[in-house]
């Protein structure tokens, strides 16, 4: 029997509807896989097997009556940033110690309404601040991918009668794996690792500067950050409200389309939720890209970028061209300023959003001699180093006398970044193709990154522009580097044109194939 955890959402949906398998069997397979492997990966910070079995049983009843929803019986992992009623919700921070909300986020409520099953809450960087999942209060997540070397062994030739000399086995590749632990990227590192290691069929994630797309690229999975306003932020722990968007991480492009359809909605509870009907994203998959105009921005060719990534980008261009798309060179001149502007805007918004964690209404409280000292002690003990760093930067750039020099300047630069994209789209470009990350997954506790926070921030150099401009972006796996690690390409689309992203990403997926880590756990 095939391992049920290896089915895509689309395949499982088919088998569930055809009554070949039950939701209970599928859920049990995942619960078992998590039991066996979570200690290795640290992907889940809380599991809900009883709830999962209960939800699966209800799904089976609905499926039996032919009343199944779009995700009926599909077991999902939920990033710890989404409020789930009565279940661990801490944004992987100590400051939210013991918090179990009495309400459900709009995103997860939408998923449950469509019949999905909750397996548990997934690890992440604390308050989604990080690019390696190492800032989590619950410790790092381990990437299911490992570095490897391949050696080509030439098999001895043998004499074959009258046919002359032929190679018996040709060449054989022997692969040796490195035991170094790699990060899965972040902040949605638990989501990406769980999807890649078959510990859930798909996962929710969020992206403020690249937190869906970078971990997807590091794990050979597909991740989409939708247009700002497409997915409700209600009930999602806020990091930087003008940049935060939720989206899915999935095993392939079709599964990402299925999940986004359910996650997205028009929500009166989020004033930035846009009043546009949610399209059937899956219908875009398989449509030809013939005549589509693909922009290649020259500013995404950065110093020190590994050759593997440049080569992959060229491959992506060739695949789309072969599929009939037109390739045009474009310029997005303010690209290099996106990351510095982000490191003013995002911490400024975070310092304001995180002011609510004061030991009064929820979570941790550390006493002090008066109320001010109680706030200060609570926040000193509750927040990790990276979160404190960002609150401090945010507080500084918003403080009296510095607002104009930093925050206002950054918001003006943000206008220019958005204008670059608007001009490209106005010139007829349908979608922009770039690398997803400037490197493949790196090691846990990388010394260079630990010594210099800016080095870690550079991970988001290709993704952060998209958040600054509020656009949709998808990361799709496109190949392996010289060490056998996955690399991704990113497609950036017009506002609310996620369909074109799925359409083009599917062409890349068809050409590149799908990537799964070799099981070692």
Pick the piece of the chain touching another protein (CB under 8 A) from 176-184, 231-239, 335-343, 433-441.
335-343
Q: How far is the CB of 448 from another protein (least distance, A)?
A: 13
Report the residue number, 146 or 414, with the smaller CB distance to another protein: 414
User: Which range, of 34-42, 163-171, 401-409, 473-481, touches another protein by CB under 8 A?
Assistant: 401-409
The verdict on 343 binding another protein (CB under 8 A) reads yes
191 assigned to active site: no
Q: Which residues pair with 293 in a beta bridge?
A: 326
What the block records as the tokens of 252 is 């392939």
Indicate the residue among 167 and 405 with the shorter CB distance to another protein. 405
Token pair for 469: 């401009």
**Residues 260-289, mask of contacts with another protein (x by CB under 8 A):** --------x--xxxxx--------------
Contact 285, 254 (CB under 8 A): yes
CB of 388 to another protein, least distance (A): 6
151, 372, 426, 448: which one contacts another protein (CB under 8 A)? 372
Q: Which residues pair with 435 in a beta bridge?
A: 489
CA distance 476 to 48: 30
Rank residues 40 and 242 by Cβ distance to another protein and give the closer one: 242
* Beta-carbon count within 10 A of 160 CB: 10
Residues 209-248 that bind another protein (CB under 8 A): 227-229, 242
Read off φ and ψ for residue 168, nearest 5 degrees.
-70, -55
187 is catalytic: yes
| Residue 370 engages another protein in binding (rule: CB under 8 A) | yes
376 in contact with another protein (CB under 8 A): yes
In angstroms, give the least distance from the CB of 386 to another protein.
10
Phi, psi of 485 (to 5 degrees): -95, 145
Residue from 410, 487, 489, 491 touching another protein (CB under 8 A): that is 410
Among 66, 98, 164, 170, binds another protein (CB under 8 A): 98
- Cα–Cα distance for residue pair 338/464, rounded to 1 Å: 7
- 186 near 130, Cβ under 8 Å? yes
Per CB under 8 A, 157 contacts another protein: no
Q: Which of 59, 132, 211, 351 is catalytic?
A: 211
Say whether residue 412 binds another protein (CB under 8 A): yes
- Please, what sign has the CA dihedral across residues 434, 438, 440, 441? negative
Tokens encoding 354: 């995180």
Interacting residues with another protein between 494 and 513 (CB under 8 A): 495
Q: Where are the alpha helices (DSSP H) in 359-426?
A: 371-382, 385-398, 409-426
411 binds another protein (CB under 8 A): yes
* DSSP structure class, residue 158: E
Q: Binding residue for another protein (CB under 8 A) from 418, 483, 510, 511? A: 418
* Active-site annotation holds for 32: no
Given 147, 365, 494, 506, the residue binding another protein (CB under 8 A): 365
CA proximity to 251, closest of 194, 189, 319, 186 = 194
CA distance 465 to 224: 15
Beta bridge partners of 157: 167
Is 94 near another protein (CB under 8 A)? no
Residue 284 backbone phi and psi in degrees, to 5: -75, -20
Q: How far apart (Å, rounded) are the C-alpha atoms in residues 280 and 208?
A: 25
- Residues near 18 by beta carbon (within 8 Å), at least 6 away in sequence: none
Nearer to another protein, 42 or 236 (CB): 236
* Contacts of another protein in 431-460 (CB under 8 A): 452-454, 457
Q: Which is the catalytic residue, given 59, 131, 132, 187?
A: 187
Residue nearer to another protein on the CB measure, 11 or 100 = 100
Residue 413 lies near another protein (rule: CB under 8 A): yes
Contact pattern for another protein over residues 466 through 495, marking x by CB under 8 A: --xxx------------------------x
117 binds another protein (CB under 8 A): no
33-52 core/surface letters (b: 16 or more CB in 10 A; e: else): bbeebbeebbbbbbbbbebb
Nearest to 474 by CA among 485, 495, 489: 489
Residues annotated catalytic, as ranges: 79, 187, 211
């Amino acid at each position: 029997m095939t391992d049920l955890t290896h089915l895509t959402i689309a395949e499982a949906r088919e088998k569930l509807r055809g009554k070949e398998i039950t939701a209970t069997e599928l859920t049990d397979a995942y619960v078992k896989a998590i039991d066996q492997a979570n200690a290795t990966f640290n992907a889940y910070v809380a599991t809900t097997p009883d709830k999962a079995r209960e939800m699966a049983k209800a799904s089976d009843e609905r499926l039996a009556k032919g009343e199944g929803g779009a995700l009926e019986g599909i077991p999902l992992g939920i990033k710890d940033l989404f409020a789930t009623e009565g279940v661990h919700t801490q944004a992987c921070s100590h400051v939210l110690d013991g918090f179990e909300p009495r309400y459900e986020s709009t995103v997860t409520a939408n998923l449950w309404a469509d019949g999905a099953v909750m397996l548990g809450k997934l690890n992440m960087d604390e308050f989604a601040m990080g690019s390696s999942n190492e800032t989590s209060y619950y410790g790092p997540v381990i990437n299911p991918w490992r570095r490897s070397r391949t050696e080509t062994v030439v098999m001895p030739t043998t004499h074959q009668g009258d046919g002359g000399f032929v190679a018996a086995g040709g060449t054989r590749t022997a692969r040796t794996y490195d035991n170094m632990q790699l990060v899965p990227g972040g902040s949605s590192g638990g989501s990406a690792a769980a999807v890649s290691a078959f510990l859930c069929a798909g996962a929710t994630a969020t992206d403020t500067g690249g937190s869906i797309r970078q971990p997807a690229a590091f794990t050979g999975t597909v991740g989409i950050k939708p247009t700002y306003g497409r997915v409700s932020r209600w009930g999602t722990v806020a990091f930087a409200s003008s940049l935060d968007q939720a989206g899915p991480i999935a095993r392939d492009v079709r599964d990402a389309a299925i999940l986004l359809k359910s996650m997205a909605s028009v929500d009166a509870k989020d004033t930035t939720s846009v009043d546009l009907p949610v399209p059937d994203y899956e219908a875009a998959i398989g449509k030809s890209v013939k005549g589509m105009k693909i922009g290649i921005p020259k500013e995404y060719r950065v110093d020190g970028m590994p050759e593997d990534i440049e080569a992959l980008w060229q491959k992506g261009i060739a695949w789309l061209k072969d599929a009939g798309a037109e390739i045009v060179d474009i310029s997005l001149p303010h690209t290099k300023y996106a990351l510095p502007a982000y490191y003013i805007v995002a911490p400024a918004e975070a310092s304001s959003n995180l002011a609510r964690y004061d030991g009064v209404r929820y979570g941790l409280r550390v006493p002090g001699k008066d109320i001010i000292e109680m706030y200060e002690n609570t926040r000193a003990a509750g927040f990790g180093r990276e979160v404190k760093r960002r609150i401090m930067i945010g507080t500084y750039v918003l403080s009296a006398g510095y607002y104009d020099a930093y925050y206002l300047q950054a918001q003006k630069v943000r206008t220019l970044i958005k204008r670059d994209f608007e001009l490209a789209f106005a010139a007829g470009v349908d979608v922009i193709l770039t690398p997803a990350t400037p490197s493949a997954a790196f090691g846990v506790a990388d010394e260079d990154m630990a010594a210099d926070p800016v080095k870690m921030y550079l991970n988001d150099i290709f993704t952060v522009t998209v958040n600054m401009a509020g656009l949709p972006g998808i990361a799709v796996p496109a190949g392996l580097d010289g060490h056998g690690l996955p690399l991704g390409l990113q497609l950036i689309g017009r506002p609310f044109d996620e369909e074109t992203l799925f359409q083009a990403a599917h062409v890349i997926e068809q050409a590149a194939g799908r990537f799964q880590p070799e099981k070692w756990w």
